[in-house]
Amino acid sequence: MKIRSYLVAVSLVASGGLVTIAAPAQAALTTTCVGEGGAVTVSGALVVPAGASCTLTGTKVKGTVTIEAGADLVAKGVTFSSTVAVGNNAYLDITDSSVKGAVTQQGAFGVHVQNTAANGGISAVDGFLYSVDSTVKGDVRASSGELYISGTTVSGAVTGDANLYTDVYDTTVGKTLTVSANTLGGVLCASEVEGDTAYRNNSDTLQIGGDGPLSSCAQATYLRGDLAVTDNNANAILDNTIVRGKLIASDNSPALQVGELARVRGGITATTTAPSASLARAAKAAPQDRGADLAAKVAERTAQAEAEAAAAGTGL
């Protein structure tokens, strides 16, 4: 009968918040983080266990990162060389960092990515995905939650399906933009889309370029491909946008409203109207950017996670 041996070691972090557990020699190291971690290199995987909080500053992780159910990870100036998985009701806040693998969340509270290079794309199901001033090499896909992107460069496609809303500000999308079945519609403002753009089966309000009821938007939007706005039960307005391809608009209730600053270069196959007076008044009423609500969620959960990690950091 073979006897397994295990090595338990505490990483060289001032807080003592990282505990490394090495399984048998043939297995990779797994580091459990409860508390605070600093500028060390984790050679294997890192796990934030269920219900725990971890903060990392300047840490390098060579293996996968897993944030288990109800756990929090606040990471600043880190380098993650593999994937990051965010579990049910868990939370990831990552700033000034680099992630080489994909970031995925399933049923999470949310993911906040800021000033970060996400080189494997981001995928979210449930919860919010809030990307600010970041670079994503790959696709951004979100469903059944909230999707808000600002100041971000996405080399792949952006897809928002069955979300509460999909809002895109000051962002470059390298491939297609698809927004479908969003309960509160969406905003596209001061952005560029290199592929085709499609809005279909959405409700409430769609603001594609220009000022509108959801947001003030002074800068123009540029769409290199076709724009299709179809089968929406939403107040939809297109303005201050250059569409290099075709405009296709059909089966919208009410009809798509097209403002004076919209320019379509590739022809129009559409049923449209001029903007209504009520929508024009709403555009001047200093609408609230939905990013403010997400920023408040981020600030609250991050502060809670940092406090819990600080409390746990000296207790291991």
* pLDDT beyond 70 at 277: no
Residue 40 has which token pair?
């060390």
Q: Torsion over CA of 232, 234, 240 and 244, rounded to 10 degrees?
A: 0
Q: Are strands 53-57 and 35-37 parallel, antiparallel or unpaired?
A: parallel
What angle (nearest 5°) sits at the alpha carbon of residue 11, between those of residues 9 and 15? 120
Give the tens place of pLDDT for each residue, 220-254. Answer: 999 999 999 999 999 999 999 999 999 999 999 99
**Per-residue pLDDT at 13:** 38
* pLDDT beyond 50 at 287: yes
- The model's confidence at residue 11, banded by pLDDT at 50, 70 and 90, is very low
* pLDDT beyond 90 at 70: yes
Neighbouring-strand partners of residue 47: 32, 66
* pLDDT beyond 60 at 28: no
CB-based contact 127:106 (threshold 8 Å): no
Is residue 250 left, alpha or beta, with left meaning phi > 0 and alpha meaning psi from -120 to 50? beta
Helix, strand or coil, per DSSP, at residue 126 = coil
Give the tens place of pLDDT for each residue, 288-310. Answer: 679 999 999 999 999 999 999 99
Nearest to 124 by CA among 101, 100, 106, 139: 106
What angle (nearest 5°) sits at the alpha carbon of residue 184, between those of residues 178 and 186? 40
Its pTM surpasses 0.95? no
CB-based contact 176:195 (threshold 8 Å): yes
- The model's confidence at residue 213, banded by pLDDT at 50, 70 and 90, is confident
Give the tens place of pLDDT for each residue, 185-196. Answer: 999 999 999 999
Give the tens place of pLDDT for each residue, 254-275. Answer: 999 999 999 999 999 988 888 7
- The model's confidence at residue 78, banded by pLDDT at 50, 70 and 90, is very high
What is the side-by-side strand order in the sheet with 153-154?
Answer: 41-42, 60-61, 79-80, 98-99, 117-118, 135-136, 153-154, 172-173, 192-193, 221-223, 241-243, 263-264
